[in-house]
Amino acid sequence: MNSPIMIACAHGTSNTQGAAEVNALRAAIAELRPGLDVREAYVDVQQPDLVDVVAGLPDGEAAVVVPLLLSVGYHVKVDIARAVKSRPGSAAAAPLGPDPRLAALLDQRLREAGTTDNDVIVLAAAGSSNPNAAVSVEELLGQLRALRSNRMVAAYGASAQPSVPDAVAMLREELAGGAGAGESAGAVDVGGRVVIASYLLAPGFFHDQLAKAGADVVTQPLLPSPTLAEIALDRYDAAVAAMNETPTEAPVPGPAEAPDKAPADAQQGGFFKALQRFVTKYFPR
């Protein structure tokens, strides 16, 4: 039996480098799983559109849409869910984040950027109007806190609060010993820098905005890294396992049992009882 097709669905970007990084991620997934049919799709900006890809799947072929997205949000809950619902035999995997491996990758990016223990960190995510997205980001933030002692806050590029510029300004005030300092500052050492940890897959619009947020340092996005391909395949495998689960089968009747006959006997017995009551009532002896 062939493995279900993987539709590796990204958001889409007009940034040439960002598009190349996502394509390289798909290639890395295919390289890790030889023989797996990995297809390209997007929910915005780029083509082919996810709806068209799902509609064009071969008849009788199962498929799993793997969101190349970092949290649950509108695109996962609406766009991908609708596309999957439109075609029987399709399923949606969980997004790539949160995942402890992503926290480790963020920690690596912070170290590459020269982040010290004295620095304060803004974990910058794209943002979503879906509150579950913020929950996912906060979970990832907790995983990152387990790896680093820095003062950290989560912030968003759009649709959620605080915004990245607001978070940067708040932490800079803390570093300066301003109104935001004190116990809420988490014992930050004065003299550190404000560092933005880019919780984004690849270069694009949102990453470009981080450079304008007023921080001292902005880390590189998560790609390129083999970690993302490994997580994508784990999400795919989990979705395939869920598709293959079958309901618990009822016990096979033994020779003494007659399941098809029993309901008929019960109906017949009920009929004669009703008839007997009718005769007794209207034709008493």
- What's the pTM? 0.80
Q: Cα 35 to the chain's mean position, in Å?
A: 24
State the amino acid at position 24 in one-letter form: A
Average pLDDT for 111-115 = 97
Q: Which residues pair with 91 in a beta bridge?
A: 64
| CA distance linking residue 122 with residue 153, whole number of Å | 5
Element (H, E) at 7: strand 5-10
Going by the DSSP 8-state scheme, the letter that residue 76 receives in this structure is: I
Residue 189 pLDDT > 70: no
Task: Give per-residue pLDDT as tens, 40-74.
Answer: 999 999 999 999 999 999 999 999 999 999 998 88
- Quote the pLDDT of residue 249: 40
Per mean pLDDT, which range of 193-202, 203-212, 248-257 is the poorest? 248-257
Q: Is 83 helix (H, G, I), strand (E, B) or coil?
A: helix
| CA distance linking residue 111 with residue 103, whole number of Å | 12
Element (H, E) at 52: helix 50-55
